[in-house]
Amino acid sequence: MKVLGLIVEYNPFHQGHLYHLNKAKELINPDITIVIMSSHFVQRGEPAISDKWTRAKVAIKNGVDLVIELPFVYSVQSADYFAKGAIEILHKLNVTDIVFGSESGNIDVFKDIALTIKNNPNGYNTLVKQQLNLGLRYPDACNKALSILMNKSITTPNDLLGLAYVKEVINNNYQINLHCIKRTNDFHSLKLENICSASAIRHALKNNV
């Protein structure tokens, strides 16, 4: 049995999310599709545009079989802890495949980075600490450490979150197949179009556009 797992906020659900959901199901052809979704508060620490029940109903209406709440203690955390909570839940649900969206769309790069960090944790952690001591924020320190260690750079939000998912699976030796789908739009764009960012929709709602 193939069980597809997606990790989402749906804040709010839009055409890009529908594209991700449909592409993931097309790729995996699952028997069951499970979504792990943030509740009333999302990763930025702010309230979601709509309540968790409304967003769950929209997910079910658009083809999801089961929506599981990501507890608050994980949903408002940084990427690594957000990923830890979501991936652990999916593992316990015996999910076979996880599909996430990313700016780069290259799963092999994520796996390569995750394996390098796993096999050289002391070197990576030492570099991160050095960069933190130089005054960099934690995400920037991690990215600088990767640049020094592997000459690679992960800077965009969905790539950073995707890397966190891959690290969590690889570090725990979970038997889950990982896939990513390239995003079709700029996550910062406020332009309203057929497939626009959640940021654009939230901005439009806030400004009564």
Give the model confidence (pLDDT) of 71-115 as tens digits.
999 999 999 999 999 999 999 999 999 999 999 999 999 999 999
Q: Which residue has the higher pLDDT, 8 or 204?
A: 8
Prediction pTM value: 0.87
Q: How far is 197 from 190, CA to CA, in rounded Å?
A: 7
Q: Which residue has the higher pLDDT, 134 or 189?
A: 134
Query: What share of the chain in percent tops pLDDT 70?
Result: 88
What is residue 153's predicted lDDT score, i.e. its pLDDT?
Answer: 87
What is residue 191's predicted lDDT score, i.e. its pLDDT?
Answer: 59
Q: Which residue has the higher pLDDT, 4 or 194?
A: 4
Q: Is the pLDDT of residue 188 over 70?
A: no
One of 3.40.50.80, 3.40.50.620, 3.30.70.100, 3.30.420.40 is the CATH number of 3-104+157-206, namely 3.40.50.620
Q: How confident is the model at residue 139 (pLDDT cuts 50, 70, 90)?
A: confident
Residues 6+ apart with CB under 8 A from 153: 143, 146, 147
Q: Is the pLDDT of residue 205 over 70?
A: no
Q: What is the mean pLDDT of residues 30-35?
A: 99
Backbone dihedral angles phi then psi of residue 101, each to the nearest 5 degrees: -90, 150
Q: What is the overall mean pLDDT for the chain?
A: 91
CATH 3.40.50.620 region(s) of the chain?
A: 3-104+157-206
Backbone region of residue 44 per phi and psi (left: phi > 0; alpha: psi in -120 to 50; beta: other values): alpha
